[in-house]
A = this chain, B = another copy of it.
Amino acid sequence: MRIYIAGSGAMGCRFGYQLQQSGQEVILLDNWQDHIDAIKQNGLKIVGDKPDCVKMTIMHPTEAHETADFIILFTKAMQLPQMLEDIKQIIGEHTKVLCLLNGLGHEDTIRKYIKEENILMGVTVWTAGLKGPGVAILQGKGSINLQSFDTCGKESSAQIVDVMNQAGLNVIYDEDVLPSIWRKACVNGTMNSTCALCDCTIGEFFATEDALHTVRAIIHEFCEVGIASGVKLNESEIVDYVMHVSEIAAPHYPSMHQDLVQNHRLTEIDFINGAVARRGRKLGIQTPYCQMITDLIHAKEHILGISK
């Protein structure tokens, strides 16, 4: 199976590496020139649980030409439209596309390029890091929940699940994946924006009752908007889940902190809290906490001179 990883950062490298090791033809796509050069010259270096170094094919998205059997989308949220535009030449009649991006609402973008029966929406708890160009840090275990966007596609996605499981990716076909996607968005919506704004680790933010008031208010808005959109969400279960993740992840800076504070890059806020605020407006549901944190993150992007 010819598999493209569209967006080969840390997570893309993990999935591409595991799939190639299991015997699939894998092509990494990315636009970070240093990363491309490093992998072309030295192969992909793996550090962490099982150090390794393997030759892998990597290129710019626009350089890809052979029709894909399967594409895993793993860009930053705001890079998705450009990525889809750049790879439309490899999307065929039967190309399956799995979206594993953080955040909400990506299906609306993907449907412009892919037939609904070929779209898979998913969420993963695998993790990965980059030590630098061409060097991925792979530690621990994870899993992926995914579902065909359209019930017509369920049968034909069985092959995708098989291929990914042969690569040890622990994929579960989920008859209702949206609650898991929203639950992960809640984790990001309570940790990413807050820690980026307050310049702190997850544990530092979650340490006071004041901060937890904000956390609970954000989760409440996600649940109100999600439930009104037909997603089966249990607010108290999500609060418990977020608190649990905040303990495990306490010493870490979330990805939005890395983007905004450490690297002065645009954030994914419009696809996390901003997506809930947007959908809330359409549904007539007030989301002041999501709206305010979105506005403040955008203000901070502007203050740091990061432009769209």
**Which positions in A face B, CB cutoff 8 Å?**
194, 197-200, 204-205, 207-208, 210-211, 213-214, 217, 286, 288-289, 291-296, 298-300, 302-303
Q: Given contacts A197-B198, A198-B296, A298-B210, are A217 and B288 in contact (CB under 8 A)? A: yes
Q: Are A213 and B291 in contact (CB under 8 A)?
A: yes
What are some 7 contacts across the A-B interface (CB < 8 A)? A198-B299, A198-B303, A199-B199, A204-B302, A211-B302, A217-B291, A286-B288
Additional A-B contacts beyond A197-B197, A211-B296, A211-B299 (5; CB < 8 A): A194-B296, A200-B299, A208-B302, A210-B296, A292-B293
Interface SS of chain A: helix
Q: Are A197 and B296 in contact (CB under 8 A)?
A: yes
B residues in contact with A295, CB < 8 Å = 210-211, 213-214
Query: How far apart are A260's CB and chain B's nearest CB, in angstroms?
Result: 11
Query: How far apart are A279's CB and chain B's nearest CB, in angstroms?
Result: 17
Q: Are A294 and B204 in contact (CB under 8 A)?
A: no
Query: How far apart are A7's CB and chain B's nearest CB, in angstroms?
Result: 26
B residues in contact with A289, CB < 8 Å = 288, 292
B residues in contact with A194, CB < 8 Å = 296, 299
Most B CB within 10 A of own CB, among A200, A205, A210: A210
CA distance A260 to B289 in the complex (A): 22
Which of B200, B298, B303 is in CB contact (< 8 Å) with A303? B200
Query: How far apart are A191's CB and chain B's nearest CB, in angstroms?
Result: 12
B residues in contact with A291, CB < 8 Å = 213, 217
Q: Are A210 and B293 in contact (CB under 8 A)?
A: no
Q: Are B217 and A292 in contact (CB under 8 A)?
A: yes
Q: Are B302 and A207 in contact (CB under 8 A)?
A: yes
CA distance A197 to B198 in the complex (A): 7
B residues in contact with A302, CB < 8 Å = 204, 207-208, 210-211
Query: How far apart are A304's CB and chain B's nearest CB, in angstroms?
Result: 9
